[in-house]
Amino acid sequence: MSTLLSSTQHGSVILTLNRPERANAFNFEMTQALQQALVDAENNPQVGCVIITGSGKTFSAGQDLTEMKQGEEISYNEHLNKTYNPLILQIRNMGKPVIAAINGACAGAAFGIALACDLRIAKSTSYFVVGFSGIALAPDSGVSLFLSKYIGLGRAQEYFYTNKPIPAQLAFDWGIVNRVGGFNYQRLVTQMAEELARGPREAFALGKKAFNKAYLPNLEEILMYEGILQEEASKVEEHRRRVDAFFSRRGKS
Ligand code: T3D
């Protein structure tokens, strides 16, 4: 079964993260598939809008921790520079609107990906978790920048330190999320995507560049810096201990 499903609907491409048995956590294969799908969407003139969502009950749990458990020798900085950093830049640099359709829990690097999208539409039962501190890591995937921009430095740090969930309604009140839907969630996503897919395409692409320059001029630099800090965090014993604890709590030591 493919780790990323792709379908088209009224000028939009829907990219569905598809590892529901692992809470749609990103392994290397899924990250590469998403990178390629975004290139294809950018190059396809039939596509005016991209939707990223998750299959089953989760949006995504972020990085697949089993890859971290196996890869004792992995350099987190190198890994970030091959995976989430280019992905985040791709989302921001593509000349088409990208909607994150948040169908369930969204944690860690997946939170960064969702925050990098142009809009977020959330199911009322969904929630966000910064996630990193739970396994003794620093924020990456642009979370340090995006989250503090959306909710302010004090709140962003609080939710990083405490790892408390941010429920969809609170995320809406704080401006992280553009729309929250209950029974009408799917319709909100479809209507918004259809509207954005109609364009005006060239103006949308230029407008996105303007917002990037105005609001995120140092995004690339921050992503690189987060990678350097994450490398340091990954070498601290507490990180390995917490990853092991995550799996032993679930009976998978
Ligand atoms: O170098 C680098 O790239 C470093 C970068 C790191 C970036 C990161 O993303 S670090 C943060 C990693 N993510 C987490 O720490 C979050 C861990 N997961 C959770 O906290 C929870 O699962 C959720 C808040 C996401 C809740 O999701 P939910 O309730 O929809 O699912 P669940 O029931 O918790 O999990 C379902 C299964 O997925 C479960 O397996 P089981 O017990 O049914 O066999 C669980 O173990 C598994 N799972 C959940 N998260 C992960 C995972 N497996 C691998 N990796 C995960 N991250």
Domain limits of the chain?
4-183+218-252
Quote the longest CA-to-CA distance of the chain: 53
pLDDT score at 205: 98
- Residue 247 pLDDT: 86
From CA 251, how far away is CA 34, in angstroms rounded?
Answer: 30
Cα–ligand 1 centroid distance for 61 (angstroms): 4
Per residue of the chain (253 residues), give pLDDT as tens.
Answer: 899 999 999 999 999 999 999 999 999 999 999 999 999 999 999 999 999 999 999 999 999 999 887 656 789 999 999 999 999 999 999 999 999 999 999 999 999 999 999 999 999 999 999 999 999 999 999 999 999 999 999 999 999 999 999 999 999 999 999 999 999 999 999 999 999 999 999 999 999 999 999 999 999 999 999 999 999 999 999 999 999 999 887 665 5
**Nearest CA residue ID for atom 40, ligand 1:** 22
Choose which CATH entry (3.90.700.10, 3.90.226.10, 1.10.3720.10, 3.40.50.2000) describes domain 4-183+218-252.
3.90.226.10
pLDDT at 110: 98
Distance 91 CA to ligand 1 centre (A): 23
* Calpha distance 214→182 (Å, rounded): 34
Q: Which residues make Cβ contacts (< 8 Å) with residue 93, sequence separation at least 6?
A: 212
Query: 189 Cβ partners below 8 Å, 6+ apart?
Result: 51, 53, 99, 101, 121, 181
